[in-house]
A = this chain, B = another copy of it.
Protein backbone atom coordinates (compact mmCIF):
# COMPACT_ATOMS: atom_id res chain seq x y z
CA UNK A 1 0.00 0.00 0.00
CA UNK A 2 1.55 3.30 -1.02
CA UNK A 3 1.72 5.93 1.71
CA UNK A 4 -0.07 9.27 1.55
CA UNK A 5 3.00 11.17 0.46
CA UNK A 6 3.48 8.87 -2.49
CA UNK A 7 -0.18 9.10 -3.50
CA UNK A 8 -0.02 12.89 -3.29
CA UNK A 9 3.10 12.88 -5.42
CA UNK A 10 1.42 10.77 -8.07
CA UNK A 11 -1.76 12.88 -7.99
CA UNK A 12 0.31 16.00 -8.51
CA UNK A 13 1.68 14.48 -11.70
CA UNK A 14 -1.84 13.96 -13.10
CA UNK A 15 -2.70 17.66 -13.23
CA UNK A 16 -0.91 20.80 -14.37
CA UNK A 17 0.77 23.11 -11.88
CA UNK A 18 -2.27 25.34 -11.52
CA UNK A 19 -4.34 22.25 -10.82
CA UNK A 20 -2.63 21.25 -7.61
CA UNK A 21 -3.66 23.56 -4.77
CA UNK A 22 -1.61 23.78 -1.61
CA UNK A 23 -1.96 27.39 -0.45
CA UNK A 24 -4.14 27.21 2.68
CA UNK A 25 -5.61 30.61 1.78
CA UNK A 26 -7.06 28.90 -1.28
CA UNK A 27 -7.88 25.50 0.16
CA UNK A 28 -9.21 26.39 3.62
CA UNK A 29 -12.54 27.82 2.34
CA UNK A 30 -12.90 24.76 0.10
CA UNK A 31 -12.56 22.41 3.06
CA UNK A 32 -15.58 23.81 4.90
CA UNK A 33 -19.13 24.42 3.73
CA UNK A 34 -20.29 27.99 3.27
CA UNK A 35 -22.41 27.92 6.42
CA UNK A 36 -19.34 26.62 8.29
CA UNK A 37 -21.28 23.67 9.67
CA UNK A 38 -18.84 21.13 8.27
CA UNK A 39 -15.06 21.16 8.13
CA UNK A 40 -12.94 18.50 6.50
CA UNK A 41 -9.35 17.60 5.74
CA UNK A 42 -8.22 16.36 2.36
CA UNK A 43 -5.43 14.17 1.11
CA UNK A 44 -5.03 16.79 -1.61
CA UNK A 45 -7.00 19.48 -3.39
CA UNK A 46 -6.92 19.33 -7.16
CA UNK A 47 -8.53 21.53 -9.79
CA UNK A 48 -8.06 19.81 -13.17
CA UNK A 49 -7.99 22.00 -16.24
CA UNK A 50 -10.23 19.85 -18.40
CA UNK A 51 -12.27 16.66 -18.69
CA UNK A 52 -9.23 14.60 -19.64
CA UNK A 53 -7.49 15.58 -16.42
CA UNK A 54 -10.63 14.77 -14.39
CA UNK A 55 -10.60 11.40 -16.09
CA UNK A 56 -6.96 10.74 -15.14
CA UNK A 57 -7.61 11.73 -11.55
CA UNK A 58 -10.66 9.48 -11.19
CA UNK A 59 -8.96 6.49 -12.78
CA UNK A 60 -6.11 6.90 -10.32
CA UNK A 61 -8.39 7.30 -7.32
CA UNK A 62 -10.45 4.29 -8.37
CA UNK A 63 -7.35 2.17 -8.62
CA UNK A 64 -6.15 3.27 -5.19
CA UNK A 65 -9.61 3.39 -3.58
CA UNK A 66 -9.28 7.08 -2.77
CA UNK A 67 -12.57 8.79 -1.98
CA UNK A 68 -13.30 11.74 -4.27
CA UNK A 69 -15.37 14.74 -3.18
CA UNK A 70 -16.38 16.90 -6.16
CA UNK A 71 -16.94 20.58 -5.55
CA UNK A 72 -18.35 23.45 -7.59
CA UNK A 73 -19.14 26.84 -6.06
CA UNK A 74 -19.41 25.27 -2.58
CA UNK A 75 -22.74 26.98 -1.88
CA UNK A 76 -24.74 23.90 -0.81
CA UNK A 77 -26.73 23.67 2.38
CA UNK A 78 -26.08 20.03 3.29
CA UNK A 79 -22.31 19.58 3.43
CA UNK A 80 -22.36 17.59 0.21
CA UNK A 81 -19.10 19.08 -1.07
CA UNK A 82 -17.07 18.90 2.14
CA UNK A 83 -14.67 15.98 2.67
CA UNK A 84 -14.59 14.04 5.92
CA UNK A 85 -11.99 14.56 8.64
CA UNK A 86 -9.79 11.64 7.68
CA UNK A 87 -7.34 13.44 5.37
CA UNK A 88 -7.76 10.46 3.06
CA UNK A 89 -10.23 11.92 0.52
CA UNK A 90 -9.41 13.98 -2.53
CA UNK A 91 -11.18 17.29 -2.98
CA UNK A 92 -11.84 17.69 -6.70
CA UNK A 93 -12.70 21.24 -7.69
CA UNK A 94 -14.39 21.71 -11.06
CA UNK A 95 -13.81 25.48 -11.06
CA UNK A 96 -11.39 25.47 -13.98
CA UNK A 97 -13.81 23.73 -16.32
CA UNK A 98 -15.45 27.08 -16.96
CA UNK A 99 -15.97 27.28 -20.72
CA UNK A 100 -19.20 27.87 -22.56
CA UNK A 101 -18.66 25.35 -25.32
CA UNK A 102 -21.55 26.33 -27.60
CA UNK A 103 -24.80 28.19 -27.92
CA UNK A 104 -27.16 26.88 -30.59
CA UNK A 105 -29.83 29.55 -30.96
CA UNK A 106 -32.09 27.69 -33.37
CA UNK A 107 -31.97 24.65 -31.09
CA UNK A 108 -32.45 26.81 -27.97
CA UNK A 109 -29.51 25.19 -26.19
CA UNK A 110 -26.32 26.10 -24.38
CA UNK A 111 -23.49 23.63 -23.81
CA UNK A 112 -21.25 24.53 -20.92
CA UNK A 113 -18.79 23.05 -18.47
CA UNK A 114 -19.39 22.21 -14.85
CA UNK A 115 -17.30 25.03 -13.41
CA UNK A 116 -19.26 27.83 -15.11
CA UNK A 117 -20.82 30.18 -12.59
CA UNK A 118 -24.58 30.18 -13.09
CA UNK A 119 -24.82 33.96 -13.56
CA UNK A 120 -22.24 33.73 -16.35
CA UNK A 121 -24.44 31.22 -18.17
CA UNK A 122 -27.48 33.43 -17.69
CA UNK A 123 -25.51 36.28 -19.27
CA UNK A 124 -24.26 34.14 -22.12
CA UNK A 125 -27.85 33.16 -22.90
CA UNK A 126 -29.02 36.76 -22.67
CA UNK A 127 -26.23 37.85 -25.03
CA UNK A 128 -27.72 35.44 -27.58
CA UNK A 129 -31.17 36.96 -26.95
CA UNK A 130 -32.23 33.80 -25.11
CA UNK A 131 -33.17 32.96 -21.55
CA UNK A 132 -31.77 30.43 -19.09
CA UNK A 133 -34.47 30.12 -16.43
CA UNK A 134 -32.38 28.49 -13.69
CA UNK A 135 -32.12 31.17 -11.02
CA UNK A 136 -31.38 31.01 -7.32
CA UNK A 137 -29.96 33.09 -4.51
CA UNK A 138 -26.41 31.82 -4.98
CA UNK A 139 -26.31 32.37 -8.74
CA UNK A 140 -23.36 34.75 -8.50
CA UNK A 141 -21.10 32.02 -7.12
CA UNK A 142 -22.73 28.60 -7.55
CA UNK A 143 -21.57 26.51 -10.49
CA UNK A 144 -23.39 24.51 -13.11
CA UNK A 145 -21.98 21.16 -11.99
CA UNK A 146 -23.25 21.71 -8.47
CA UNK A 147 -26.60 22.96 -9.73
CA UNK A 148 -27.06 19.78 -11.72
CA UNK A 149 -25.61 17.43 -9.12
CA UNK A 150 -28.07 18.78 -6.57
CA UNK A 151 -30.94 19.19 -9.06
CA UNK A 152 -31.25 22.83 -8.02
CA UNK A 153 -34.65 24.45 -7.74
CA UNK A 154 -34.93 28.17 -7.18
CA UNK A 155 -37.33 30.86 -8.24
CA UNK A 156 -38.70 29.72 -11.60
CA UNK A 157 -39.53 26.08 -10.97
CA UNK A 158 -43.27 26.56 -11.28
CA UNK A 159 -42.83 27.52 -14.93
CA UNK A 160 -39.62 25.83 -16.09
CA UNK A 161 -39.09 22.93 -13.67
CA UNK A 162 -36.08 21.90 -11.61
CA UNK A 163 -32.52 21.84 -13.01
CA UNK A 164 -33.03 18.22 -14.08
CA UNK A 165 -35.80 19.23 -16.46
CA UNK A 166 -33.52 21.70 -18.23
CA UNK A 167 -30.87 19.12 -19.13
CA UNK A 168 -30.77 17.55 -22.58
CA UNK A 169 -27.27 16.12 -22.55
CA UNK A 170 -24.40 15.38 -20.18
CA UNK A 171 -20.71 14.63 -20.13
CA UNK A 172 -19.83 12.60 -17.05
CA UNK A 173 -16.59 11.08 -15.87
CA UNK A 174 -17.41 7.71 -14.36
CA UNK A 175 -15.69 6.50 -11.20
CA UNK A 176 -13.25 4.40 -13.23
CA UNK A 177 -12.20 7.43 -15.26
CA UNK A 178 -14.02 6.60 -18.46
CA UNK A 179 -15.86 9.54 -19.99
CA UNK A 180 -19.55 9.07 -20.75
CA UNK A 181 -20.21 11.54 -23.56
CA UNK A 182 -23.95 11.88 -24.09
CA UNK A 183 -23.74 15.60 -24.59
CA UNK A 184 -26.54 15.78 -27.12
CA UNK A 185 -29.04 18.57 -27.65
CA UNK A 186 -31.99 16.36 -28.52
CA UNK A 187 -35.56 17.02 -27.40
CA UNK A 188 -36.53 13.44 -28.17
CA UNK A 189 -34.41 10.35 -27.78
CA UNK A 190 -36.10 7.10 -26.78
CA UNK A 191 -33.14 4.78 -26.96
CA UNK A 192 -33.11 2.90 -23.70
CA UNK A 193 -33.01 3.81 -20.04
CA UNK A 194 -32.75 7.34 -18.74
CA UNK A 195 -29.18 6.96 -17.50
CA UNK A 196 -28.50 10.70 -17.61
CA UNK A 197 -31.16 11.48 -15.05
CA UNK A 198 -29.42 9.33 -12.43
CA UNK A 199 -26.45 11.71 -12.30
CA UNK A 200 -28.73 14.72 -11.85
CA UNK A 201 -29.35 15.05 -8.13
CA UNK A 202 -26.83 12.32 -7.25
CA UNK A 203 -24.56 14.89 -5.56
CA UNK A 204 -21.44 13.46 -7.13
CA UNK A 205 -21.91 9.97 -5.70
CA UNK A 206 -22.16 8.22 -9.10
CA UNK A 207 -19.67 10.15 -11.19
CA UNK A 208 -18.51 13.68 -11.96
CA UNK A 209 -20.55 15.84 -14.31
CA UNK A 210 -18.07 17.81 -16.41
CA UNK A 211 -20.40 19.44 -18.96
CA UNK A 212 -24.06 19.69 -19.89
CA UNK A 213 -26.34 20.81 -22.68
CA UNK A 214 -29.25 22.84 -21.29
CA UNK A 215 -32.54 24.01 -22.75
CA UNK A 216 -32.93 27.73 -23.30
CA UNK A 217 -36.09 29.76 -23.88
CA UNK A 218 -37.05 32.94 -25.73
CA UNK A 219 -35.83 36.06 -23.93
CA UNK A 220 -38.46 37.62 -21.67
CA UNK A 221 -39.62 41.06 -22.81
CA UNK A 222 -42.64 41.76 -20.60
CA UNK A 223 -43.06 41.25 -16.90
CA UNK A 224 -45.51 42.18 -14.15
CA UNK A 225 -44.87 41.75 -10.45
CA UNK A 226 -47.24 42.17 -7.53
CA UNK A 227 -46.97 42.14 -3.78
CA UNK A 228 -50.31 40.91 -2.53
CA UNK A 229 -51.94 40.67 0.89
CA UNK A 230 -53.93 37.43 0.94
CA UNK A 231 -56.54 36.27 3.43
CA UNK A 232 -54.66 33.07 4.25
CA UNK A 233 -52.59 30.32 2.55
CA UNK A 234 -55.76 28.76 1.08
CA UNK A 235 -56.53 32.10 -0.60
CA UNK A 236 -52.98 32.12 -1.94
CA UNK A 237 -53.51 28.68 -3.53
CA UNK A 238 -56.81 29.85 -5.05
CA UNK A 239 -55.10 32.96 -6.41
CA UNK A 240 -52.40 30.79 -7.97
CA UNK A 241 -55.01 28.71 -9.81
CA UNK A 242 -56.79 31.85 -11.02
CA UNK A 243 -53.55 33.43 -12.16
CA UNK A 244 -52.28 30.35 -13.99
CA UNK A 245 -55.48 30.24 -16.05
CA UNK A 246 -55.87 33.97 -16.62
CA UNK A 247 -52.23 34.56 -17.56
CA UNK A 248 -51.95 31.79 -20.13
CA UNK A 249 -49.88 29.83 -17.60
CA UNK A 250 -47.05 32.32 -17.61
CA UNK A 251 -46.63 32.56 -13.84
CA UNK A 252 -42.87 32.44 -13.36
CA UNK A 253 -42.77 32.97 -9.58
CA UNK A 254 -45.33 32.61 -6.82
CA UNK A 255 -43.86 33.06 -3.37
CA UNK A 256 -45.69 32.88 -0.05
CA UNK A 257 -44.49 35.29 2.63
CA UNK A 258 -45.74 35.54 6.24
CA UNK A 259 -46.12 38.79 8.17
CA UNK A 260 -43.12 37.99 10.33
CA UNK A 261 -40.86 37.97 7.27
CA UNK A 262 -42.06 41.43 6.24
CA UNK A 263 -41.31 42.67 9.74
CA UNK A 264 -37.88 41.03 9.90
CA UNK A 265 -36.75 42.31 6.53
CA UNK A 266 -38.12 45.82 7.16
CA UNK A 267 -36.22 45.88 10.42
CA UNK A 268 -32.90 44.32 9.38
CA UNK A 269 -32.43 45.00 5.66
CA UNK A 270 -31.67 48.54 4.50
CA UNK A 271 -34.13 49.78 1.91
CA UNK A 272 -36.81 47.17 2.57
CA UNK A 273 -40.18 48.58 3.56
CA UNK A 274 -43.61 47.01 3.79
CA UNK A 275 -45.09 47.71 0.33
CA UNK A 276 -48.63 47.86 1.71
CA UNK A 277 -50.22 50.22 4.21
CA UNK A 278 -52.06 47.82 6.51
CA UNK A 279 -50.51 44.64 7.92
CA UNK A 280 -51.70 41.23 6.75
CA UNK A 281 -50.96 37.78 8.16
CA UNK A 282 -49.94 36.45 4.74
CA UNK A 283 -48.61 37.79 1.44
CA UNK A 284 -47.80 36.55 -2.02
CA UNK A 285 -45.06 37.88 -4.28
CA UNK A 286 -46.02 36.84 -7.78
CA UNK A 287 -44.59 37.49 -11.19
CA UNK A 288 -45.86 36.78 -14.67
CA UNK A 289 -43.61 37.17 -17.67
CA UNK A 290 -43.66 36.71 -21.40
CA UNK A 291 -41.41 36.83 -24.43
CA UNK A 292 -43.98 38.99 -26.26
CA UNK A 293 -42.59 42.49 -26.47
CA UNK A 294 -45.83 44.42 -26.11
CA UNK A 295 -47.72 42.30 -23.61
CA UNK A 296 -50.04 44.26 -21.26
CA UNK A 297 -49.19 42.02 -18.32
CA UNK A 298 -49.70 44.71 -15.66
CA UNK A 299 -53.32 45.14 -16.74
CA UNK A 300 -53.81 41.39 -16.82
CA UNK A 301 -52.36 40.99 -13.34
CA UNK A 302 -54.43 43.88 -11.99
CA UNK A 303 -57.60 42.39 -13.44
CA UNK A 304 -56.92 39.02 -11.84
CA UNK A 305 -56.11 40.65 -8.51
CA UNK A 306 -59.27 42.77 -8.67
CA UNK A 307 -61.39 39.65 -9.18
CA UNK A 308 -59.60 37.99 -6.26
CA UNK A 309 -60.25 41.10 -4.16
CA UNK A 310 -63.95 40.92 -5.02
CA UNK A 311 -63.90 37.23 -4.11
CA UNK A 312 -62.43 37.96 -0.70
CA UNK A 313 -59.11 36.21 -1.40
CA UNK A 314 -57.06 39.38 -1.50
CA UNK A 315 -57.27 42.38 0.83
CA UNK A 316 -54.71 44.66 -0.82
CA UNK A 317 -52.08 44.53 -3.53
CA UNK A 318 -49.36 46.62 -5.18
CA UNK A 319 -48.35 45.99 -8.78
CA UNK A 320 -44.78 47.19 -9.34
CA UNK A 321 -44.90 50.41 -11.36
CA UNK A 322 -41.27 50.30 -12.43
CA UNK A 323 -38.08 48.27 -12.21
CA UNK A 324 -37.09 49.98 -8.99
CA UNK A 325 -40.25 48.88 -7.24
CA UNK A 326 -40.00 45.38 -8.69
CA UNK A 327 -36.52 45.11 -7.23
CA UNK A 328 -37.76 46.30 -3.85
CA UNK A 329 -40.39 43.58 -3.79
CA UNK A 330 -37.79 40.99 -4.71
CA UNK A 331 -35.26 42.33 -2.23
CA UNK A 332 -37.82 41.77 0.53
CA UNK A 333 -38.31 38.17 -0.58
CA UNK A 334 -34.66 37.36 -1.20
CA UNK A 335 -33.36 38.87 2.01
CA UNK A 336 -35.59 36.80 4.29
CA UNK A 337 -32.74 34.35 5.07
CA UNK A 338 -30.35 37.22 5.85
CA UNK A 339 -32.92 38.94 8.08
CA UNK A 340 -33.42 35.66 9.92
CA UNK A 341 -29.70 35.40 10.54
CA UNK A 342 -29.61 38.96 11.86
CA UNK A 343 -32.54 38.25 14.16
CA UNK A 344 -30.81 35.29 15.79
CA UNK A 345 -30.74 31.52 15.57
CA UNK A 346 -33.23 29.50 13.56
CA UNK A 347 -34.23 25.96 12.76
CA UNK A 348 -34.60 25.29 9.04
CA UNK A 349 -36.76 22.81 7.17
CA UNK A 350 -36.77 22.62 3.37
CA UNK A 351 -39.97 20.74 2.80
CA UNK A 352 -42.56 20.18 0.10
CA UNK A 353 -46.11 18.87 -0.01
CA UNK A 354 -48.65 18.88 -2.84
CA UNK A 355 -49.62 22.51 -3.54
CA UNK A 356 -53.20 21.74 -2.51
CA UNK A 357 -51.99 20.55 0.90
CA UNK A 358 -49.91 23.60 1.81
CA UNK A 359 -52.66 25.41 3.74
CA UNK A 360 -53.55 22.41 5.86
CA UNK A 361 -49.88 21.63 6.42
CA UNK A 362 -49.16 25.15 7.64
CA UNK A 363 -52.18 24.93 9.90
CA UNK A 364 -51.32 21.57 11.46
CA UNK A 365 -47.54 21.89 11.65
CA UNK A 366 -47.81 25.57 12.59
CA UNK A 367 -50.04 24.72 15.51
CA UNK A 368 -47.50 22.17 16.68
CA UNK A 369 -44.73 24.80 16.59
CA UNK A 370 -46.87 27.22 18.54
CA UNK A 371 -47.62 24.65 21.21
CA UNK A 372 -44.18 23.08 21.53
CA UNK A 373 -41.68 25.81 20.79
CA UNK A 374 -42.40 28.80 23.03
CA UNK A 375 -38.82 29.96 22.43
CA UNK A 376 -39.41 30.17 18.65
CA UNK A 377 -41.52 31.98 16.06
CA UNK A 378 -42.66 30.24 12.89
CA UNK A 379 -41.43 31.82 9.66
CA UNK A 380 -42.87 29.67 6.85
CA UNK A 381 -42.16 31.12 3.44
CA UNK A 382 -41.17 29.96 0.00
CA UNK A 383 -42.13 28.63 -3.37
CA UNK A 384 -45.85 28.05 -2.93
CA UNK A 385 -46.24 27.39 -6.64
CA UNK A 386 -44.11 24.27 -6.16
CA UNK A 387 -45.50 23.30 -2.75
CA UNK A 388 -42.06 24.06 -1.34
CA UNK A 389 -41.82 25.86 1.99
CA UNK A 390 -38.83 26.91 4.00
CA UNK A 391 -40.62 26.05 7.19
CA UNK A 392 -38.29 27.77 9.60
CA UNK A 393 -38.52 28.58 13.28
CA UNK A 394 -36.74 31.75 14.40
CA UNK A 395 -35.41 32.52 17.86
CA UNK A 396 -38.02 34.50 19.82
CA UNK A 397 -37.02 37.71 21.65
CA UNK A 398 -36.25 36.95 25.29
CA UNK A 399 -34.80 33.52 24.50
CA UNK A 400 -31.24 32.48 23.69
CA UNK A 401 -29.99 30.71 20.61
CA UNK A 402 -29.09 27.75 22.83
CA UNK A 403 -32.65 27.56 24.10
CA UNK A 404 -33.93 27.36 20.56
CA UNK A 405 -31.28 24.91 19.39
CA UNK A 406 -32.07 22.60 22.29
CA UNK A 407 -35.36 21.76 20.68
CA UNK A 408 -34.03 21.34 17.12
CA UNK A 409 -33.96 17.51 17.06
CA UNK A 410 -37.47 17.25 18.43
CA UNK A 411 -38.75 19.97 16.09
CA UNK A 412 -37.14 18.36 13.04
CA UNK A 413 -38.62 15.00 13.89
CA UNK A 414 -42.12 16.42 14.38
CA UNK A 415 -42.08 18.60 11.25
CA UNK A 416 -40.68 15.83 9.05
CA UNK A 417 -43.24 13.40 10.48
CA UNK A 418 -46.00 15.82 9.46
CA UNK A 419 -44.40 16.11 6.02
CA UNK A 420 -44.50 12.35 5.61
CA UNK A 421 -48.13 12.27 6.71
CA UNK A 422 -48.91 14.83 4.00
CA UNK A 423 -47.15 12.82 1.29
CA UNK A 424 -44.37 15.36 1.15
CA UNK A 425 -40.60 15.53 0.99
CA UNK A 426 -38.23 16.43 3.84
CA UNK A 427 -35.75 17.82 1.31
CA UNK A 428 -37.48 19.64 -1.50
CA UNK A 429 -34.58 21.42 -3.13
CA UNK A 430 -31.47 21.34 -0.94
CA UNK A 431 -30.67 17.65 -1.29
CA UNK A 432 -29.15 15.22 1.19
CA UNK A 433 -25.40 15.78 1.38
CA UNK A 434 -24.12 14.55 4.74
CA UNK A 435 -26.70 16.53 6.70
CA UNK A 436 -29.74 14.43 5.82
CA UNK A 437 -28.38 10.91 5.30
CA UNK A 438 -30.21 9.63 8.35
CA UNK A 439 -33.38 11.51 7.45
CA UNK A 440 -33.27 9.74 4.08
CA UNK A 441 -32.93 6.38 5.79
CA UNK A 442 -35.86 7.20 8.05
CA UNK A 443 -38.26 8.73 5.53
CA UNK A 444 -37.43 7.28 2.12
CA UNK A 445 -39.54 4.49 0.77
CA UNK A 446 -37.41 1.48 1.88
CA UNK A 447 -37.74 -0.15 -1.52
CA UNK A 448 -36.66 3.03 -3.30
CA UNK A 449 -33.71 3.33 -0.93
CA UNK A 450 -32.76 -0.26 -1.73
CA UNK A 451 -32.87 0.52 -5.45
CA UNK A 452 -30.68 3.59 -4.85
CA UNK A 453 -28.14 1.38 -3.11
CA UNK A 454 -28.22 -1.06 -6.02
CA UNK A 455 -27.62 1.80 -8.46
CA UNK A 456 -24.76 3.12 -6.33
CA UNK A 457 -23.15 -0.30 -6.28
CA UNK A 458 -23.70 -0.82 -10.01
CA UNK A 459 -22.15 2.55 -10.94
CA UNK A 460 -19.46 2.88 -8.30
CA UNK A 461 -18.54 -0.62 -7.13
CA UNK A 462 -15.47 0.59 -5.24
CA UNK A 463 -17.44 3.30 -3.48
CA UNK A 464 -14.97 6.07 -4.25
CA UNK A 465 -17.49 8.73 -5.29
CA UNK A 466 -18.30 11.20 -2.51
CA UNK A 467 -18.42 8.46 0.12
CA UNK A 468 -21.05 8.83 2.80
CA UNK A 469 -23.03 11.50 0.97
CA UNK A 470 -26.67 10.76 0.12
CA UNK A 471 -26.23 7.09 1.12
CA UNK A 472 -24.41 5.84 4.17
CA UNK A 473 -21.16 3.97 3.47
CA UNK A 474 -21.76 0.22 3.32
**Residues of A near any B CB (own CB < 8 A):** 104-109, 150-151, 153, 157-158, 161-162, 164-165, 174, 178-182, 184-195, 197-198, 200-202, 206, 217-219, 237-238, 240-241, 244-250, 290-292, 295, 300, 352-357, 383, 385-388, 423-432, 436, 440, 443-445, 447-449, 451-452, 454-459, 470-471
Q: Is the CB of B200 within 8 A of A194?
A: yes
| Docked complex Cα distance between A244 and B104 (Å) | 15
Q: Is the CB of B448 within 8 A of A180?
A: yes
Among B153, B238, B456, contact of A188 (Cβ-Cβ < 8 Å):
B153
Among B179, B195, B241, B430, contact of A452 (Cβ-Cβ < 8 Å):
B195
Q: Is the CB of A218 within 8 A of B244?
A: yes
Which of A165, A201, A386, A470 gathers the greatest number of chain B CB atoms within 10 Å? A201
Which of A105, A106, A109, A352 gathers the greatest number of chain B CB atoms within 10 Å? A106
A447 proximity list for chain B (CB < 8 A)? 174, 178-180
Q: Is the CB of A187 within 8 A of B157?
A: yes
Output the least CB separation between A255 and chain B (Å): 14
A189 proximity list for chain B (CB < 8 A)? 352, 425, 427-428
Output the least CB separation between A455 and chain B (Å): 6
| Docked complex Cα distance between A191 and B446 (Å) | 13
| Docked complex Cα distance between A190 and B202 (Å) | 9
A240 proximity list for chain B (CB < 8 A)? 106
Q: Is the CB of B352 within 8 A of A186?
A: yes
Q: Is the CB of B423 within 8 A of A184?
A: yes
Q: Is the CB of B192 within 8 A of A386?
A: no
Output the least CB separation between A340 and chain B (Å): 21
Q: Is the CB of B192 within 8 A of A440?
A: yes
A353 proximity list for chain B (CB < 8 A)? 186
Output the least CB separation between A194 and chain B (Å): 4
